[in-house]
Structure 1
Amino acid sequence: MQKIEIVDISSCKKQINVEVPAEKVSEEFQRVYKMVARTASIPGFRTGRVPVSVVKTRFRKEIREQVMQDMLPKVLQSAIVDNKLAVVGDPDISEFTLNDGQPFVFKAKVEVIPEFELKDYKAFQMTKKIRIITDEMVEKQIERLRQQQANLVPIEDREVQDKDYVSVDIEGKFLNHQADDIRSEGVQLEVGSPNIQPEFTENLKGMKLGDECTFQVNYPEESNNKALAGKTLEYTLKLNSIKIKEVPELDDDFAQGLGEYETLADLRQKTREHFEDNVKEEANQYLNEIVLEKLLADYSFDVPDYLVNGQTKDRL
């Protein structure tokens, strides 16, 4: 009968010392000898007629590896089950000895779920808070969908105005700093957008197709663009095109064009349902976190590295 010893390294780490009797080891070797002898192909011998003594010599390494593959998982699993170890991760096998006619000895370090006493948790009182979905939230989402479905339509018979989308060629020269000039063609800008320098908006407004303008921009030291911070540039813009955004009418045709809705009312209803599903999931997740915090506050125990590393990878 095999000998099993469990050594406590910590509350979540154990070392399993195993010794399998020599008789059992010999039985496994004999089984593998016969299996290899039935299929071995060696010059001078017919298949299935190779003597075991020849097999032992010719396939010594392969046979030992096969016995190891067959015995180790079974023996280790038996030790884990018999000792009721809640193992996580892969075992670390070391100091193993395996030879025919000798005991099979090895050590396995494993991580286990630590044991702890479950305290009373049924008395917890918590309130699930679910955000209220308003008509305004629904309409804002539908408006975002309208904006996503908008088209840019060319305009040729007027000057640039706020909220126009323009295409310009840009040349920029540094006036107080030695650096290569900036040159870009076909740059798309939304006039009046907070994402562009105010000087661009001021000079673009009133321009017509083909016009050029020149102006300076003094970038402050605290500018988010580190390459331009504290610099003064002289820009020349050439206006290539003017476009305006046309959004679809808010009607049944718009809803049907999205491919999932029959009418505008259907779009509103399903948008609301989508919001409601999300806030319910959000509330459940928040409640789960609160419950977990309350539970963990009453416990203190080590956690296996395998579980910690797994959670870390999932959150990256």
Structure 2
Amino acid sequence: MAEILERSGYLVKVRVEVPADRVKASYEALLKDLASRVRVPGFRPGKAPLKVVEARLGREALLQDLKERLVEETYPEAVRELGLSPVAARVVEQDLKEGEGFRYVAEVENYPEVRLPDWRSFALEVSPPEVTEEMVEKALEELRQRYAELVPVEREAQEKDHLFVRTEEGAEFPIDLAHALPHVREALLGKKAGDVVMVPVLNDKGEKVREVRTEILEVKTLKLPELDEEFAKTLEAESLEDLKNRVRESLKRQAERAYEEARERAFLEKLAEGLEVEIPPSMLRAEERHLLEHLAEDLYRQGISLEAYLEALKEKGELEKFQEDLRKEAEKRVRIALAREKLAEELNPEVSEEEWQAYLQAAARAYGVSVQDLRRQFGEEGLARLKERLRQDKAVQEALKALG
């Protein structure tokens, strides 16, 4: 039997009573389980009488194991019976006496109740997209840069040149001065093919530890193609004017996507900010752990451990600010997730089979696997979460459409 003793926001205090016959049956099952695994001198494995096993392990230790087993068995039943959706819980009181039932009290952090703000009155301050001729010209210039060729020049090296060099060890490689380390760039600027330069090597503290004799084999510069009819045709455009129109239309599509994404971000942030909710601390801690795990993965790819990164922040006196920013980001993400969930509950959009299959195919492409492999990897629970995300996406789009 389970009952709610107290309820305050997300925190619910629950009392659970387990009848004596169930306690006795669980104790006997525990003893039999342990008897099959515990070695007792003078008996073959699993053949020692239960009373002998009980005496060897100790009554107190067995009763502690029994309490843990009974909580594990009955807690899920109790929260289902009471209609709770726990996100965390801890046992605060326990009472188990010989020949009687078992009673315990648990403090449950229940999934929070959420109330949305009046989102239909939102005014989203997002400027509509505008594609200017300056943007078109810039995009065309970037195309020229992309199709530029490196050509040799008979002059001294300049800021954006590429140098081909040979070191005293015989290694040959190119150096892009625009992206070279400052001390390397300084040593090579103004030099020309045939020159020999001593390039410094610095340690982690920026101190010179040695110099490498480096011969400049060739100086090259980027030669941009002319923006003319011929260049347009290399890009499969009918003419230069056609190329400009294509670039303009592409920029408009990009601007429209960026505009829609900005409206969605502004809507969700406004929705989350106005959300009436008391978030259980365990949900915030879980999201903080999730963010740290992602950070650890990013740092690992750079050859840095999370511990070393946090220690460096501590040395610079920036750890407290990092932790505060982490808490704020975790709360923002949890609030947005709760807002999306509640909005989908309110609007209740339907996901057609056609939409679901298209979504699965897009997800499979993103993961680089087949739909069949995606289904197998995600399993039933994972697919259910994926479908719920699609339903929430639809709810957000419906809300944005209603706002006009």
User: TM-score normalised to the size of structure 2?
Assistant: 0.47
- Asked whether 1:284 is paired with 2:264, we answer yes
Q: Which has the higher helix share?
A: 2
User: Partner residue of 2:280?
Assistant: 304
User: Partner residue of 2:23?
Assistant: 25
Structure whose CA Rg is larger: 1
Higher mean Cα deviation, 100-109 or 136-145? Answer: 136-145
User: Partner residue of 1:223?
Assistant: none
CA, structure 1 residues 99+130, in 2 after alignment: closer, same or farther (shift >3 Å)?
Answer: farther
**How many residue pairs get matched?**
262
Q: Deviations over 1:64-101 (max 9, x none)?
A: 6775565323422233233333422x322344455763
CA, structure 1 residues 39+188, in 2 after alignment: closer, same or farther (shift >3 Å)?
Answer: closer
CA, structure 1 residues 72+151, in 2 after alignment: closer, same or farther (shift >3 Å)?
Answer: farther
Q: Deviations over 1:157-193 (max 9, x none)?
A: x212654334689xxxxxxxxxxxxxxx9894648x9
Task: Tell me, in whole angstroms, the C-alpha distance in 1 between the residues paired with 2:186 and 2:117.
Answer: 66
Are 1:64 and 1:99, in contact at CA under 8 Å, matched by a contact in 2? no
The alpha-carbon deviation at position 132 of structure 1 amounts to 3.2
Q: Which has the higher strand share?
A: 1
User: Partner residue of 2:78?
Assistant: 79
User: Partner residue of 2:109?
Assistant: 111
The alpha-carbon deviation at position 12 of structure 1 amounts to 2.9
Identity %: 22
The alpha-carbon deviation at position 46 of structure 1 amounts to 9.4
User: Partner residue of 1:12?
Assistant: 10
1:48-197 aligned within 5 A: 51-54=49-52, 56-57=54-55, 67-68=66-67, 70-88=69-87, 90-97=88-95, 101-115=99-113, 118=115, 121=118, 123-127=120-124, 129-134=127-132, 136-137=134-135, 140-141=138-139, 143-144=141-142, 147=145, 150-155=148-153, 158-160=154-156, 162=158, 163-166=160-163, 188=175, 190=177
In structure 2, stretches of 5+ residues that fail to align are 167-171, 198-204, 208-213, 292-328, 331-404
The alpha-carbon deviation at position 151 of structure 1 amounts to 5.0
CA, structure 1 residues 142+71, in 2 after alignment: closer, same or farther (shift >3 Å)?
Answer: farther
Secondary structure at the aligned position of 1:27 is classed as helix
After superposition, the CA RMSD in angstroms is 5.2
Secondary structure at the aligned position of 1:84 is classed as coil
Select the structure with the greater relative contact order (CA < 8 A; seq sep ≥ 6). 1
In structure 1, stretches of 5+ residues that fail to align are 170-184, 214-225, 229-236, 257-262
Q: Deviations over 1:142-167 (max 9, x none)?
A: 65465356554443xx2126543346
Are 2:116 and 2:271, in contact at CA under 8 Å, matched by a contact in 1? no
CA, structure 1 residues 311+74, in 2 after alignment: closer, same or farther (shift >3 Å)?
Answer: same
